[in-house]
Structure 1
Amino acid sequence: MSGRISHSIKRITNRLFHAPERKSGALSISGASPGQSLSVAAIIMMIGLLLSKLTGQLREILIVPILGYGTVSDAFIIGFQIPDLFYQLLIGGAIQAAITPTLAAAIERKKEREGWHSISIFINLSAMAVLAAVILGEILSPVLIPLYNQGKAAETVELAIRVSQALFPQVFFMMMAALCIGILNAYRKFTSTSFGPSVYNLCVVLAMVLLGQASALGAVRVAAGVMLAACVYFI
């Protein structure tokens, strides 16, 4: 399993990152000085952050109108709790913070190959750890959801468990996306990393509009659509 994950990651990273060498200190903006490049990168990241916030708000606003007020929307929101907790504990910004400075320093020292060797080991270990956590989360959802939501109606908790189990694979794909973002940042390719979250949010909105309805099946289908949105975000 570890070898297959490593091979898949290497294929993706080879396609994305083995571009012509850049001059030291320059960004991926041809013909621009370092100062100009930094300014452009900052503007791109600000625009990306703004779009991410706006699309994220749209995603949250649509939950109740699409899934209805009551049991279904409550269960959908509750179902996010445990997968999101796993994501924050295992990933958050830690993966990007670990990869970007390590690989960027290796590139600056002209030791890119050695840097990639270390990153490959980190990718394998991270992927295996998160995959194990996802499997564990799938198994423990029927225990953790009621534990975190004592006093909730049994119908709501039961549906929240189904939603949570449909969402858990998203944690793995978000981890893979975080790995790619960390590597892209090391190569100073900021456009993809800036607008990726907006693409994810828009895919979630699309899944809600196309698959959502005020029923238990509608909530589970939207959860599956969110997981597919995470796949798109990674790709």
Structure 2
Amino acid sequence: MNFARAIATVGGITMVSRVLGFVRDMLMARYLGTGMAADAFFVAFRLPNLFRSLFAEGAFTAAFLPLFSGTLEKEGQDSARGLAEEALAIMVIVLMVFSIIMAISMPWVVAVLATGFTDDPAQFRLAISLSYITFPYLALISLTALLGSILNAVGRFGPFAAAPVLLNVIQISGLLLSRPLGVEAHWMLAYGVPVAGLAQLAWMILACRRAGMGLALRRPRLTPRVKRLFALLAPGILGAGVYQFNLLIGTNLASWLPTGAVSYLQYADRLNQLPMSVIGVAVGTALLPLLSRQMAAGDHDGAKASLSRGLEFAGLLGLPATVALLAIPGPLIHVLFEGGAFTAEATAATAAALQAYAIGIPAFITAKILSSAYFARQDTKGPVRIAIVVLLGNIAVSLALIGPLGHVGLALAPGLTAWLNVALLAIGLRRRGLLALDARLTARLWRMGVAAAGLAVAGWGLARLLHPWLYDGQGLVKVAALALIVTGASVTYFALCFLLGAARPAEIRGLLRRGGAKP
């Protein structure tokens, strides 16, 4: 599968998952709202979400996949499968021990995640109880990530990208069944997390067997290859997870603000995550195996070209998403979430947080791509040193902005420091001779910017024109109005891209053909 088709596969399936995620979030807004139970659940859900991002989309994949790809390239499939089985055996033991330690320490863990909850004993106890239920997801998603990395390395991107769909489907089912069963929504959501983890792991086991990469459980041994894996993994957790750690900082500080602040940030981040996941994760997922093979073969020119094409895809799709969230946050939040327990006041507060988050979207996507070049070289220490600087910067900016801006300041801080992350990553790659933006990329970026400005004007204008439909209409009328705004703005953007030469239809069709052009 070529690079562009891999991006399309991962991005397309991720979009399906995110659409289902929005359905879940719309139901959560109506069932949970932004009260005490919602804040407690979001804190409990933040912990397994952290590890999902670290392992499924971050540190484990970044450490394991280049090792596996290099072994596959140089030593063949049997040796690569042996590496995976050695890693699996050690992971099972480590995850069991870690899960026991975390279960014993859960009250202290929740106190660290949401220090403000300790002033409300009822909310604190609820958050602890929900965290006990959700935490087993850590072990399940870690094993799922191992199997998913194997499939990505052999060019089977679809199954791993589809795994999050199961989480959304199970949580949607839980919300819909909560009232008929007489069980409160936050409990159904919490129990759905480990159930989804089991379903995802079973799905990946079947996918690996179909791909001829089924694993056997060996006796645990610290072989040299496993030691190398964990040497890469330890620093990689911080390097790949800087965004999630920044969110944890924001969640903790938000717990000190009036009730609802944690929920405002959570709902805003759900929309913010859409372009980051569909674009950043898709490009990063497709790019890492490609760069790993190129690095293993010593093809540094090919690696630089691949980075430029990855940044081009990210710019083409990431810029319009960023501008849309900046231009029309109110209509998006109003149509998607407002209703039931989610009030107009919550819409205004969430929309302000969404705009603040959106400032960092291009930086987060770019950092995901640039980090892939480090990980492909089996260098996890470089991003770690940078991540420490970014984390300290995020804490400083968060503390400086929480007073004057409240929860909006907490949403703004990770976006501002993400640009620092991009600058430091880019400087490091240039020093290593791995980053040189080619003429095609530099010529097209400014054209994409002009097209994105056109999108902003079109989106804002259509929102004003359709204001009565958006705010006075009911149900499907509101959805239709929002769909018209999004469609009109998108058509404007891509029409301008084609007119200005930021993209060409023939190139896109050629890249997406099976066996089409390579980076």
Q: Is TM more than 0.5 here?
A: yes
1:17-44 deviation per Cα after TM superposition (whole angstroms, max 9, x unaligned)? xxxxxxxxxx4xxxxxxxxx54433321
Which residue is equivalent to 1:118?
83
1:22-75 deviation per Cα after TM superposition (whole angstroms, max 9, x unaligned)? xxxxx4xxxxxxxxx544333212201222332333333332322354222121
Q: Is 116-125 or 158-167 further displaced after alignment?
A: 116-125
CA–CA separation in structure 1 for the residues paired with 2:69 and 2:41: 40
Structure 1 residues 39, 99: CA separation in 2 closer, same or farther (over 3 Å shift)? Answer: same
Shift of 1:113: 1.6
Which residue is equivalent to 2:13?
48
Structure 1 residues 199, 142: CA separation in 2 closer, same or farther (over 3 Å shift)? Answer: same
Structure 1 residues 217, 133: CA separation in 2 closer, same or farther (over 3 Å shift)? Answer: farther
Q: Of residues 15, 20, 26 in structure 2, which corresponds to 1:61?
A: 26
Q: Of residues 98, 107, 111 in structure 2, which corresponds to 1:146?
A: 111
CA–CA separation in structure 1 for the residues paired with 2:93 and 2:179: 32
Structure 1 residues 62, 98: CA separation in 2 closer, same or farther (over 3 Å shift)? Answer: same
* Larger of the two Rg values belongs to structure: 2
Listed as ranges, the gaps of 5+ residues in structure 2 are 203-519
CA–CA separation in structure 2 for the residues paired with 1:90 and 1:43: 22
TM-score of the aligned structures, taking structure 2 as reference length: 0.35
Structure 1 residues 104, 149: CA separation in 2 closer, same or farther (over 3 Å shift)? Answer: closer
1:59-94 deviation per Cα after TM superposition (whole angstroms, max 9, x unaligned)? 333323223542221211122233444555666522
CA–CA separation in structure 2 for the residues paired with 1:212 and 1:137: 32
Which residue is equivalent to 1:185?
152
Superposition map of 1:4-153 within 5 A: 27=1, 37-86=2-51, 92-152=57-117, 153=120
Listed as ranges, the gaps of 5+ residues in structure 1 are 1-26, 28-36
CA–CA separation in structure 2 for the residues paired with 1:145 and 1:216: 24
CA–CA separation in structure 1 for the residues paired with 2:50 and 2:17: 21
Task: Check whether the contact 1:138–1:165 (CA below 8 A) recurs between aligned residues.
Answer: yes
Which residue is equivalent to 1:205?
172
Task: Check whether the contact 1:207–1:226 (CA below 8 A) recurs between aligned residues.
Answer: no
Q: How many residues align?
A: 199
Shift of 1:156: 1.0
Amino acid at match of 1:194: A
Task: Check whether the contact 2:55–2:145 (CA below 8 A) recurs between aligned residues.
Answer: no
Which residue is equivalent to 2:131?
164
CA–CA separation in structure 1 for the residues paired with 2:95 and 2:88: 10
Amino acid at match of 1:51: V
Which residue is equivalent to 1:31?
none
Structure 1 residues 144, 134: CA separation in 2 closer, same or farther (over 3 Å shift)? Answer: same
1:94-144 deviation per Cα after TM superposition (whole angstroms, max 9, x unaligned)? 222233232233333352222222221212222322222222221111222
1:154-200 deviation per Cα after TM superposition (whole angstroms, max 9, x unaligned)? 11111110100000111111111111110111121112122222232
CA–CA separation in structure 2 for the residues paired with 1:143 and 1:129: 21
CA–CA separation in structure 2 for the residues paired with 1:90 and 1:105: 20
CA–CA separation in structure 2 for the residues paired with 1:64 and 1:58: 10
Structure 1 residues 38, 147: CA separation in 2 closer, same or farther (over 3 Å shift)? Answer: closer
What RMSD in Å do the two structures reach over aligned CA positions? 2.6
Structure 1 residues 210, 200: CA separation in 2 closer, same or farther (over 3 Å shift)? Answer: same
Amino acid at match of 1:228: V
CA–CA separation in structure 2 for the residues paired with 1:194 and 1:148: 28
CA–CA separation in structure 2 for the residues paired with 1:87 and 1:192: 16
CA–CA separation in structure 2 for the residues paired with 1:197 and 1:88: 11
Q: Which secondary structure state, in structure 1, belongs to the residue aligned with residue 115 of structure 2?
A: coil
Q: Which secondary structure state, in structure 2, belongs to the residue aligned with residue 80 of structure 1?
A: helix
